[in-house]
Amino acid sequence: MKCRILLSLFALAMASYAAQIKDVRFACDAKGCQLVFAFASDKNLPTFFQKYDVSSQKLTVGFSESSFALGEGEFAVEDGSKFIKSMKVFNDKYKGTPFLKIEMKVGSSISNDKNEIALDKSNFLLKFKNKGGKSWTLSKLFADRKKQADKLALEEKKAAEKAAKEEKIAAEKRAAEEKKAAAKAALEEKKRLAEEKKAAEKRALEEKKAAQKAAAEEKKRLAEEKKAAEKRAAEEKKAAAKAAAEEKKRLAEEKKAAEKRALEEKKAAEKRALEEKKAAEKAALEEKKRLAEEKKAAEKAAREQEKLLAEQQKQLDKAISEGGKISALLPNLKEMTVLIGSGMEQFRLVAESPIEIQNISGPDKNNTLTVGLAGPQKSPIFRIGAGSLVKSVTWGANGLKIQLKGAVNPVMLVQDGALVLQVAENAIKKDGFVFWSAQPNGIFIRDWMKAADEKPNFETFVKRFDRDSKKIISASQTFHLRPVVRELIVVADEIEFYAAPNENAQVLQRLVFGDRLVSLDLTGLYRKVQYGNRVGYVNRRSVGFYDELSSVQAERLKQVDKDRGDELAAGATPQGGSQLESLYEDRVTYSSFGRRDPFVEIKGLVEEGINIDQVELVGIIWESEVPMAILVESKNPAISYTLKEGDKILNGKVLKITQTDVLFLIQEFGVSRRYSMGLPDKFGGQK
């Protein structure tokens, strides 16, 4: 009831703030016709709009927060009128604001919503240009409807009051009946509780009697069990004494039998020891005799070996002094070659028997490598004066001994049964090679060096080689190496060109995809570069060398160059030069002269790594600092690897990882090549 009163008060309060339309009139005179909306007051008049729908020939007007005294519903005015035929009054909301809408079906005299409006005190006028309409007042037209509505409202009010009175009487009657039923239920509950208490006391008395009876029976049972236990204990004591006597007798018999067996075993052991002593003395005598014979044979072989070595050394000394072509090599060797130049030094050894990488050990504390090959126990020491890699070669008890010079740490390879050692060399500042080779028919030396002011020319070098080809040279390839400037390309859409290697540093300018830079240095996450006449820093993830670009980036770069009108060839060298030689990369030209292609895989590194020819790239974990590539073996996908930039692989290392590709650097005999592996697309091909 309280809620209903509050809702009524709230409705009255809302009504006091809303405008009310008391009636609607239509009138015509000589000037024209107008539709009058009579408001109850000229205070707080609402917002108004009008809208005409051509297809349905309806004019709709709306008043914000307003009510209609005649109520909502449909009102038929004049079906054949040229102005207003009928009206429909209803409430609607627009953007949260309630509107009273009056939708009027109109005739031909009203054809738009540009009708003039006016305000006469509390009357809102909607004027029409046409004339000749019939005047009317909506309240008079529907007076009977209002009277019927008032009567119906009065009857509903009386019926509601009557129903409320009847509901009150019924509620009071139900409350009296519920009170009477509650008193009756309480009396019955009290009676039930008294009966349950009496039954509980009876059960407690019976349980007490049963407990006393059970206690008496338990006491009697325990007495009987005690008597039976005492009887069993006496019987067990008697049986134990009997068993102890029998055990004592058995132990005495076993002791006597054991002493007898021990005496027999002692006699047998003494007999065996005497026999073994005689056999050992006999074997020692035979071993002493065998060792004497072996010593005699070894001394004889040593004398013969020393005589042979002396003869070989004598022949070698004579050949060197006379300049002859008698073999300068040690026994069981076919060739030893030293090649030095353009930042590389290489030692190559060929034996009669093929060399296998697993049979090479060392270097030991004397900086000596041991090659497990069959050969003489001893030999002269072949001292090598050329280069800074190998000091001497000789045969020892365990195979061929190769002593290195100083603390060098060469790369070790095996090619077609030949051992190759290689290190970097920086002593020779001229372009070209120094070649030294010891072969069965002599020792040969060549110096293919050019003066510092000469420009390297590979064609001239080859012509000289052809002219001097009558002289013996190494079986290795002939190379010409020259340092070249590496050109960096911006691969991000837009990057900052910093004044210092820090993202908080001053931004000199912004660079876009395709801009060319000169690489100067590498500082952590940043590269020091030159752009035009400016030197600064860029994030190394945002730039790359041409041969590190993915196929998509390369195609995009071609299009950018075309748009700029700068048709650069793929990998063209930019103008300018790098300031640090440590960042130079070797560009190699070579002539194989019918020998092995150096770009073909060489198996057999001492430090083995992943063979990239046997794996596939399946994913890239892209992070700003340490990106990682995920590879799986082609024949066994259950075996996977993760690699970071700089990690070693077979014959090389991981050079760079981008979001779509991994670039590997493969190095063989001083020849560098790059191999790119891309992520597969959704169809299984390469991106």
Query: What are the boundaries of each domain within the chain?
Result: 2-141, 148-326, 333-484, 602-687
Predicted confidence (pLDDT) at residue 88 exceeds the cutoff of 90? yes
pLDDT cut 90: percent of the chain above it: 20
Instruction: Render pLDDT for 111-121 as a digit per residue (tens, 0 to 9).
Output: 888 899 999 88
CB 335 within 8 A of CB 438: yes
Give residue-wise pLDDT tens across range 652-684.
889 888 888 899 888 766 677 788 888 876 444
* Calculated CA dihedral for residues 149, 152, 156, 162, nearest 10 degrees: 150
CB of 104 within 8 A of CB of 59? yes
Tell me, what's the pLDDT at 316?
Answer: 57
The answer to whether 538 and 498 are in contact (CB under 8 A) is yes
The pLDDT assigned to 396 comes to 85
The answer to whether residues 338 and 437 touch, using CB atoms and an 8 Å cutoff, is: yes
Q: Provide CB contacts within 8 A for 312, sequence distance 6+.
A: 331, 379, 380
The H or E element spanning position 319 is helix 143-322
Nearest-angstrom CA–CA distance, 51 and 57: 11
- Where is pLDDT greater, at 224 or 344? 224
The residue to which tokens 């709306």 are assigned: 62
SS3 assignment, position 105: strand
Q: Report the alpha-carbon distance of residue 599 to residue 388 in Å, rounded.
A: 27
Cα dihedral 627→632→634→635 (10° resolution): 170
Of the candidates 241, 428, 434, 412, which has an alpha carbon nearest to the alpha carbon of residue 337?
Answer: 434
Q: E strands along 566-608, which residues? A: 585-591
Report d(CA 301, CA 357) in Å as an integer.
32
Residue 376's SS3 state is coil
Cis peptide before 456 (omega within 30 of 0): no
The domain defined by 2-141 carries CATH number 1.20.140: no
* pLDDT of 414: 85
d(C-alpha 590, C-alpha 592), whole Å = 6
* Strand ranges, E, within 575-670: 585-591, 615-621, 628-633, 640-644, 648-649, 652-657, 661-668
Where would I find the H helices in 565-632?
none
pLDDT at 522 over 90: no
* pTM as predicted: 0.27
Asked if residues 670 and 479 have their Cβ atoms less than 8 Å apart, the reply is yes
Q: Which two tokens stand for residue 160?
A: 């509601």
Q: How many residues does the chain have?
A: 687
Can you tell me the distance from the alpha carbon of 122 to that of 42, in angstroms, rounded to the nearest whole number?
A: 4
Residue 24's pLDDT is what? 93
Whether the predicted pLDDT of 53 surpasses 60: yes
Write the DSSP symbol of residue 485. Answer: P
Q: How far apart are CA 110 and CA 52, in angstroms?
A: 9
Is residue 59 very low, low, confident or very high in pLDDT (cuts 50, 70, 90)? Answer: very high
**pLDDT tens for each residue of 232-244:** 888 888 898 898 8
CATH number at 602-687: 2.30.30.830
104 has a pLDDT exceeding 90: yes
pLDDT tens-digit map of 263-281: 888 888 888 888 888 887 8
User: End-to-end distance of the chain based on CA atoms, in angstroms?
Assistant: 77
Residue ranges of E strands in 29-169:
33-39, 48-53, 58-64, 66-68, 73-76, 84-94, 97-106, 116-120, 123-128, 136-137
**Buried b vs exposed e over 22-35: b needs ≥16 C-beta within 10 Å?**
ebbbbebeeebbbb
Stronger pLDDT, 95 or 473, i.e. the higher one? 95
Residue in the structure block whose two tokens are 């005497």: 274
- Least Cα distance to 492 among 543, 545, 552 occurs for 543
pLDDT at residue 306 tops 90: no
| Whether pLDDT at 361 is above 90 | no
- pLDDT band with cut points at 50, 70 and 90 for residue 319: low
Which tokens hold the place of 262? 């021990």
Q: How confident is the model at residue 171 (pLDDT cuts 50, 70, 90)?
A: very high
Alpha-carbon Rg for the chain in angstroms: 58
Q: What is the DSSP string of 501-549?
A: SSTTS-EEEEEETT-EEEEEEEETTEEEEEETTEEEEEEGGGEEEGGG-
Q: What is the pLDDT of residues 636-658, one digit of tens each?
A: 777 888 888 888 888 888 988 88
* Cα gap 27→35, rounded to integer Å: 7
